[in-house]
Structure 1
């Protein structure tokens, strides 16, 4: 098996499967069933698809795709080990890449995070892309604060867990942001990546490159409302205490279909902690 060669015919077959709509997992499963060594099959699949996607992007004037965080999901797995904690896999979506995790945080961790953040809350801001600074925006009607990366033992434990779960270096993550949404508060649909067309983006990218993934963790369960919505695919994730939704975007472009928002809280409060992951080390 170790002498198997990645031929042009194999690459053409992989591309044909991809253009026919086959998911990478299905293509890999078919290759393994045909007798391909797993390491050779994975290398052939990744190399071929990355090259194909980059060429397709260039031909159509799109940003090329980059490697993004991704949990190792064995087919049919209902749980994953995330360092110090087992996490449930509640739902997955391939396009856009979305995974809903159950029990990423314990209830005690959620409560501790809320109390650590409560006295530091201010009106939430958004990135001002024409300058690279921050501004208050009517699209975001929450209160929030940022922890520095590994600011305290709780942050370190959660960030280490996320790094293990998503196979992404801890130092490539921004510090955790905690938000509180009161009744009626929301965050209208938006993208988390930084728009390359905006003049302030170049300065933002100096601190670790583009954002490539987001993890939204629910620190409580509001009485009603407050779900995380993905309008392009008509998906809404319920805000259940301890659970989280992960989504990645391999290029700063709407084709990733990662438009998302925080639906209005209709009753009670919603508390969330968000972790953004960058291409490189975030300083």
Structure 2
């Protein structure tokens, strides 16, 4: 608990973690997934088939090779393609509103939604969504809204084989199902980075996988200047 006293935002992270957890438990069509050390939920059919298909087409239009906050010596660490959804497209506004309404987190705390596409063989090896102090990017992330709290990921299509989202330490493996949202807390009950949130996008074995991801911050988010 000493970190809570020394970190001015730890109390907020504790409170938003507990608040969203209880909100999800009371929300129809949302299930808590049994997990070791991790609060994780699935909301079934958050998006319609038509909404998913529209967003997939937009991802195909704008996709570029995915990047990393911190360089990796492994060229196979993240091999997907990504893009930020444009809020000039009406369907993206509808999708963002649905995610914000589900979580109840203040919309200003949410980053721009990122779209991701995984072709056969592509993957994202185990990583955490929270930010690690003592890194080159930490200062700029602090300026842009601070630590990430919750992650919301929506599967836009069923995948023929592979492509599960795997939490190895929490002992959870989730198969993509079109329209379903996966939501987890990157912080622990004390508002500190939770190592049980380590996860990976497993290699796609057949077909193509499309997802969108929205991250929430401890403070209102502002983009980092290029």
Cα separation, 1, equivalents of 2:146 and 2:75 = 24
**Structure 1 residues 34-183: aligned runs within 5 Å:** 54-55=1-2, 57=3, 64=10, 66=13, 67-68=15-16, 70=20, 72-74=23-25, 79-80=27-28, 88-93=29-34, 95-128=37-70, 138-148=76-86, 150-183=87-120
Give 3-state SS (helix, strand or coil) of 1:178's partner. strand
Higher relative contact order (CA 8 A, sep 6+): 2
Structure 2, unmatched stretches of 5+, are none
1:171, 1:282 within 8 Å by CA — same for their partners in 2? yes
Show structure 1 runs of 4+ deviating over 4 A: 134-137
Give, in angstroms, the shift of residue 196 of structure 1. Answer: 1.0
Between structure 1 and structure 2, the one with the greater Rg is 1
1:51 alignment partner in structure 2:
none
Q: Deviations over 1:259-280 (max 9, x none)?
A: 0010111111101011111112
Cα separation, 1, equivalents of 2:213 and 2:161 = 20
Residue 274 of structure 1, aligned match among 185, 210, 213: 213
1:178, 1:273 within 8 Å by CA — same for their partners in 2? yes
Give 3-state SS (helix, strand or coil) of 1:159's partner. helix
Residues 1:218 and 2:155 are matched in the alignment: yes
1:7 alignment partner in structure 2:
none
Corresponding pairs, count = 211
Q: How does the TM-score come out when normalised to structure 2?
A: 0.84
- Two-structure CA RMSD over aligned residues (Å): 2.6
1:214, 1:246 within 8 Å by CA — same for their partners in 2? yes
Give, in angstroms, the shift of residue 158 of structure 1. Answer: 1.7
Residue 228 of structure 1, aligned match among 145, 165, 176: 165
